[in-house]
Amino acid sequence: MRFIIREQDSERLLAAGLFRYLHRGQPTGAAEEWRLTEVKSDYSVMDRNPEMAHFRVLRTDYDERELKNKRSTLFHLVINHENQPERLKIRQFSPTSEGWADLIMNEDSITLTQDFGHGRRESEAEYNELPGILYSSITWLGNWVAQQALNQASDPLWLNQNDIFELSRTSAAVQRGRAEEIVIGGQGIAADHYSLILPDRNLDFWVDRFGLTIKAVLSEELSVVESRYIRYM
């Protein structure tokens, strides 16, 4: 797995996994590898909020190098003790471009700074902790829908990923379905089923009792399954 910032000695591994993307049940070649750690003491990965006693870091390596676009994207999300995102760093690679983006969540706004070879760009949007921000990490999206099933906030910010990253407000609703058992590596894991209802599509997630995604269905043809899952929580 590739990282923007490698794990430090002050971090403790909570969970890790590897998602495979399937088209009509067949591997597409895309994969999402992730690691969730907890940081203790006054150490801060981002030199931000050093007084915070506990926070977590979600690292994601979204690998499409076997696909036609041959793109890959690394995410580094800092999550505070209230399970809200504090900062998101992004690195994206493709045969034709390479760039980075950095999002900082403030009390009432979110700042997006990025450079994809055409100069540094900065934008800002109104923001509060709820309803939050969505981006293309299956692990984070599942965690988010499980939270929203309790809070029922709406109109989150969506981080669109095109040639550059853009923030846009969207409407969203979450419905909770029946609990199911999902089998990973021969082991059955109890999971709650959530549907994320967006204006143009519905996404389904199965999340275990630790708030970790273990399965997702993104369309009638595209699904995501956890092929490797370890947990120390």
Task: State which residues form the domain around 194.
Answer: 11-231
Q: Which of 199, 181, 178, 201 is nearest to 190 (CA)?
A: 181
**How far, in Å, CA of 156 to CA of 199, rounded?**
12
pLDDT band at 223 (very low <50, low <70, confident <90, very high): very high
pLDDT cut 70: percent of the chain above it: 91
Report the number of distinct structural domains present in the chain. Answer: 1
Q: Is residue 20 part of a domain?
A: yes
- What's the whole-number mean pLDDT along residues 70-84? 91
Q: Is residue 94 part of a domain?
A: yes
pLDDT at 74 over 80: yes
pTM confidence score? 0.90
Is 37 inside a domain boundary?
A: yes
Does any domain span residue 161? yes
Does residue 177 lie in a domain region? yes
The percentage of residues in the chain with a pLDDT greater than 90, rounded to a whole number, is: 66
Question: What number is the average pLDDT over the span 195-199?
Answer: 92
Indicate whether 3 belongs to any domain: no
pLDDT of 115 above 50: yes
Identify whether 210 is part of a domain: yes
Distance CA 115, CA 12 (A): 32
As a whole number, mean pLDDT of residues 44-67 equals 74
Residue 1 lies inside a defined structural domain of this protein:
no
Please state the rounded mean pLDDT for residues 116-145.
87
pLDDT at site 57:
97
pLDDT recorded at residue 46: 45
